[in-house]
Amino acid sequence: MTNIKFASAALILALATGAAFAAGMEEKAQAPATGFEQMDTNHDGLISKEEGALREDVATLWEAADANKDGSLDAAEFSAFETTEPAQQ
Ligand SMILES: [Ca+2]
Ligand SMILES: [Ca+2]
């Protein structure tokens, strides 16, 4: 009888620890590396405004990031945006 109780307690503890561990892992993955490839979801080599909306900073500073005002970000514009880290005005 007590053996069964102990076994279930151990199982519950193991599950709880596993869940806590998984939750911790998920929290670490919260800041995803969203690079050009990840944002260019249709892989046409450009980030459209819709694709740019995936990232809040890109969406917010879209006008500044789209340097040539053609309505999309190419790799050069995106990397310039990434390296400039423009200060919020
Ligand atoms: Ca695209
Ligand atoms: Ca552009």
Tell me the CA–centroid distance for residue 79 and ligand 1, in Å. 15
Mean pLDDT of 81-89: 70
Per-residue pLDDT at 48 exceeds 90: yes
- As for how many domains the chain has, the answer is 2
Domain span including residue 77? 36-84
Tell me the CA–centroid distance for residue 75 and ligand 2, in Å. 9
Instruction: Tell me which H or E stretch contains 16.
Output: helix 2-28
Give the C-alpha separation, 50 to 30, whole Å: 21
Tell me the CA–centroid distance for residue 22 and ligand 2, in Å. 40
Report the CATH number that the domain containing residue 59 is assigned in CATH.
Answer: 1.10.238.10
Q: 52 and 79: one domain?
A: yes
Give the C-alpha separation, 24 to 4, whole Å: 30
In a domain, 89, yes or no: no
Report the alpha-carbon angle 10-14-20, nearest 5: 145
In a domain, 13, yes or no: yes
Per-residue pLDDT at 2 exceeds 90: no
Structure tokens at 12: 């519950």
Give the C-alpha separation, 8 to 19, whole Å: 16
Tell me the CA–centroid distance for residue 81 and ligand 2, in Å. 11
Model confidence over 50-74: pLDDT tens digits? 999 999 999 999 999 999 999 999 9
pLDDT for res 31: 47
